[in-house]
Amino acid sequence: MRHERKAGLRLAARIGPDGLLGPVATQDTVRVLADFAAAGADWGVGRWLAVGTAALRAAADGREVLERVRAETGIDARLLPGDEEASLGLIGALNTLAELDGFAVDIGGASTEVSAFEARRRTGSLSLPLGAVNATAQFGLAQKAGATALEALYAACDGIASTAGAAFLQPRPGCTLIGIGGTVRALCKVDRHRRGYPLHATHNYLLDPAEALDMAARLAGMPVRERERLPGMAPERADLIAAGAGLLAWVVRRTQPARILVSGAGLREGLFFSDLLRHQPEPLFPDVLEASARNIERLHQLPPARLARLEGLAGELWARLGPLAGAPPACARILRFAARLREVGTAVSYYDWEAHTFYLLREARLYGLDHRERLLLAAAAAYDGPGRLREQLAPFASVLQPGDDRLAVRLGIAAALTHAIDEACRGEALPVQVEALPSVVRIIPARPPLDGGPVAPGLAEDFRKAFGRALAVGVPSPEPAPVGG
């Protein structure tokens, strides 16, 4: 993403008793889209993907508003059906999260889309004509309201689901619920402050379903001024947050998930991915981590042939080093991508590259990993000694598991060793032999190191401490002595 701009119009609250948005709301919409068009011209936008959602579906003059937008700004927006809105929100989330099965809820201003998915394919959906804006007005949740208002909201949602025949919306204990939209992100930020969570990331944040239910009850019972003062709460959301939290709580009550996974991607990203991948049978990446890593590599102009070599070499090394480290199988994947992305920090500056690499991989749009895995990958890619690595990870101890610092050191040594061997052999190390002997690990590249000297001497002591064996690169095992006279 190169540029982002947003504006809140709250159109759902501006539909009058006659069912019309009317001239003032229409002109405000045109003005905002004209601002977007001007920004798009600055950035060289040649084509727009624009849609109108629930508020414009509900307004009797919704299509006329979109026609005014087209005529005065040149942005040709189409009115999006509720079912397609649910589908696009799910596509946006699933192209940035490595989830296979579960539910997704996208809470907007005038509607809430709930979907079920299996094997990354949507299997059912429901579009509720209630969102954070119109539910706030309908159930009196802008100010302190309490349990009665929430129960009325839940009953209304139950009635809509029953009338729609949403048979898919059944309890599935143990499943994941993906939360999409500004309401869920706002609740995430409040929960992050409550926990003292050390990462600022919203995407892939884990929210406890029990906490989501408690938050809905607490927010409904708070005056709006008290909500505004909650750490992490954006003041402009304080009047809407109780209704939004209530809609999330209703889905939690219906599906009984084991966890809520917050998605920073939704409808907007779904529109983009659906267009980008339009020639595929399904607009979904087969491998979310691979797709996002390639995007980062292209952005930073890392050489593809070198990346392929490094990934292959890292895989062969870890096939023998991983068991020595007692590492779980998932670490092989973390190492392959750490080896590929190790040099990303040099795009900022060759000096202090490790600090830049750690920051970029911690914060970049690298999808398909949870927050712990992301930290392990970033630390391994940025490895420049065990002390520096532990210093980088120390602020995030509450995200990590016991022993993760030792695991990250081993992954980091393997990533650094991968680069050292590839450079010493001028890209001709594969296939490589790795002999894990009781006292030494011998690594024999296909082509001997060209200068004849030791490879990665600075890693030798780190390797011995981390893996309990000496390191010998490019030195074959001694030939057995001949037998007989």
Q: Where are the domains of the chain?
A: 11-79, 82-276, 288-427
pLDDT of residue 480: 46
pTM metric for this prediction: 0.92
479 has a pLDDT exceeding 50: no
pLDDT digits (tens, 9 = 90+) for 36-74: 999 999 999 989 999 999 999 999 999 999 999 999 999
Given a contact cutoff of 8 angstroms between Cβ atoms, the answer to whether 250 and 153 are in contact is yes
Given a contact cutoff of 8 angstroms between Cβ atoms, the answer to whether 178 and 263 are in contact is yes
Nearest partner of 366 among 314, 298, 305, 290, judged by Cα: 290
Return d(Cα 248, Cα 240) in angstroms, integer.
Answer: 13
CATH, range 11-79: 3.30.420.40
pLDDT digits (tens, 9 = 90+) for 318-337: 999 999 999 999 999 999 99
The alpha carbon of residue 326 and the mean position of all alpha carbons in its chain are separated, in whole angstroms, by 28
pLDDT range class, residue 5, cuts 50, 70, 90: confident
How many CB atoms lie under 10 A from the CB of residue 88?
Answer: 25
Return d(Cα 230, Cα 141) in angstroms, integer.
Answer: 17
pLDDT digits (tens, 9 = 90+) for 158-181: 999 999 999 999 999 899 999 999
pLDDT range class, residue 92, cuts 50, 70, 90: very high
205 has a pLDDT exceeding 50: yes
Given a contact cutoff of 8 angstroms between Cβ atoms, the answer to whether 29 and 7 are in contact is no
pLDDT of residue 457: 87
pLDDT digits (tens, 9 = 90+) for 351-400: 999 999 999 999 999 999 999 999 999 999 999 999 999 999 999 999 99
434: β partners: 443
DSSP characters for 85-153?
Answer: HHHHHHHHHHTTS---SEEEEEE-SS-EEEEEEETTEEEEEEEES--HHHHHHHTT-SS---HHHHHHH
CATH, range 82-276: 3.30.420.150
pLDDT of residue 481: 44
pLDDT of residue 146: 85
Return d(Cα 111, Cα 352) in angstroms, integer.
Answer: 48
Residues of the chain with pLDDT > 90, as a percent, come to: 90
* Phi-psi label, residue 403: left if phi above 0, alpha if psi -120 to 50, beta otherwise: left
Give me 16's structure tokens. Answer: 């009058």
Phi, psi of 444 (to 5 degrees): -115, 100
Return d(Cα 242, Cα 232) in angstroms, integer.
Answer: 15
Residues of the chain with pLDDT > 70, as a percent, come to: 97
Burial label for 429, CB within 10 Å (0-12, 13-18, 19+), is buried
420 has a pLDDT exceeding 90: yes
3-state SS, residue 456: coil
pLDDT range class, residue 87, cuts 50, 70, 90: very high
Given a contact cutoff of 8 angstroms between Cβ atoms, the answer to whether 129 and 110 are in contact is yes
Return d(Cα 458, Cα 471) in angstroms, integer.
Answer: 11
pLDDT of residue 448: 86
Return d(Cα 300, Cα 459) in angstroms, integer.
Answer: 27
145 has a pLDDT exceeding 70: yes
Does 11-79 match 82-276 in CATH topology?
yes
* Phi-psi label, residue 322: left if phi above 0, alpha if psi -120 to 50, beta otherwise: alpha
Relative orientation angle of helices 330-341 and 304-325, to the nearest 10 degrees:
140
pLDDT of residue 478: 55
Return d(Cα 337, Cα 378) in angstroms, integer.
Answer: 10
Q: Determine which helix (DSSP H) or strand (DSSP E) holds 78, and give its type and residue range.
A: strand 78-79
Nearest partner of 275 among 60, 49, 10, judged by Cα: 49
Given a contact cutoff of 8 angstroms between Cβ atoms, the answer to whether 301 and 347 are in contact is yes
* Phi-psi label, residue 262: left if phi above 0, alpha if psi -120 to 50, beta otherwise: beta
Sheet hosting strand 112-118, strand order edge to edge: 121-128, 112-118, 102-107, 176-180, 259-263, 205-207
pLDDT of residue 244: 97
CATH of 288-427, one of 3.40.50.300, 1.10.3210.10, 1.10.3470.10, 1.20.1540.10: 1.10.3210.10
297 has a pLDDT exceeding 80: yes
